[in-house]
Amino acid sequence: MIIRKKEHWFKMLFVWHGSVLPGLLPRLFLLFILSLGVVYLRGIIFSFKIPLNPAPLTLFGFVLALFLGFRNNVSYERFWEGRKLWGALLNTARSLTRQALTLKNSDCNTVSVSEFIQLLGAFIFALKHQLRGTDAHEDLQNRLKEDQLTIVAASKYKPTVIMKLMADWVKKIKDEGCIDSIQQARFDENFDKLSDIVGGCERIVSTPIPYSYRVLLHRTVYIYCFLLPFGLVDSLRWFTPLIVVFIAYTFVAFEAIADEIEEPFGTEANDLALNSMSVMIAETIHEMAGEPVAASKKVTQNIID
């Protein structure tokens, strides 16, 4: 995800990095060339004048805009749900850390809370890598013991396996008398919340927007854009290519943005900043345990997460 300071309104007109424009340039250039050809031929193809005028295109464009708005709302809802799930992960991680630090009896000196916190940190990074389909070994090997790493590395769904290891830690301190059954139940409540978070993230990743709907909208957008020059050529003449490219940029860009954010856990420019969020959650739980945390610097330039 691109993280940048707020820009002046005039500078935003020329923002290149992070916009979808670079990926759209070849398509817009093709439409520009097509529009030039239509203007040069005055809308006549093989001695046949294409009988289009702006009126039906205006009506059709309004309907198409409604569908694109619905498409973007659906994509943004998925994006925002992913963000809320990771916000809930932050809150639950803090709650679990607080419980591990305060619920055990003061005379249980044999219990290593740092082991639990390391497992919790490993869970966070394992979830990030599972959602992105990347290799989690580097982030896990510094947080797990050798025997734990062997178990987790051999599993397909690493976050749930790590969650079981955390539950085993809670059971161990319960058996040692460091916490009672009520305190163990409090841990279990937060483990259930972690399960809900993992399940919610997996639901977003494994349930894309129906492909037939995407194809229909994609075809409609491009057919509309390719018909625009024939409807505008008689009224706009040589201004037609500029107006067509501007209108096409609006429609095609909306579709491109919707495609980009419908799966919010990826690595594209406008996806969620999972790297930064994972580091921040790990830092806050280690800080709660009294470990030093490096000061974060204010964002003053573009960052891709």
More confident residue, 294 or 163: 163
Output the average pLDDT for the chain. 87
pLDDT score at 274? 94
pLDDT surpassing 50 at residue 300: no
CB 176 within 8 A of CB 111: yes
More confident residue, 15 or 97: 97
93 burial level (CB within 10 Å; 0-12, 13-18, 19+): buried
pLDDT score at 119? 95
pLDDT surpassing 80 at residue 298: no
| Report for 81-95, 224-238, 279-293: range of highest mean pLDDT | 81-95
Q: Per the structure, how many domains does the chain have?
A: 1
CB 113 within 8 A of CB 102: no
pLDDT surpassing 60 at residue 35: yes
pLDDT surpassing 80 at residue 161: yes
pTM of the model: 0.85
pLDDT surpassing 50 at residue 302: no
Q: Which long-range contacts (CB under 8 A, 24 or more apart) does 142-150 make?
A: 143/118, 143/119, 144/118, 144/119, 145/115, 148/119
Q: Which long-range contacts (CB under 8 A, 24 or more apart) does 289-296 make?
A: 289/97, 289/101, 289/113, 289/114, 289/117
pLDDT score at 232? 86
For residues 95-115, give the mean pLDDT: 81
The pLDDT tens digits of the residues spanning 275-287 come to: 999 999 999 999 9
pLDDT surpassing 90 at residue 212: no
Q: Which residues contact 7 (CB under 8 A, 6 or more apart)?
A: 15
pLDDT surpassing 60 at residue 213: yes
For residues 90 and 193, give the distance between their C-alpha atoms in angstroms, rounded to a whole number. Answer: 11
pLDDT score at 299? 41
CB 124 within 8 A of CB 281: yes
Query: How far, CA to CA in Å, does 275 sit from each of 20, 152, 153, 158?
Result: 22, 21, 20, 17
Query: Could you give the percent of the chain with pLDDT greater than 70?
Result: 90
Q: pLDDT band at 301, cuts 50/70/90?
A: very low
**Which residues span the domain enclosing 149?**
2-304
3-state secondary structure of 112: coil
For residues 181-192, give the mean pLDDT: 94
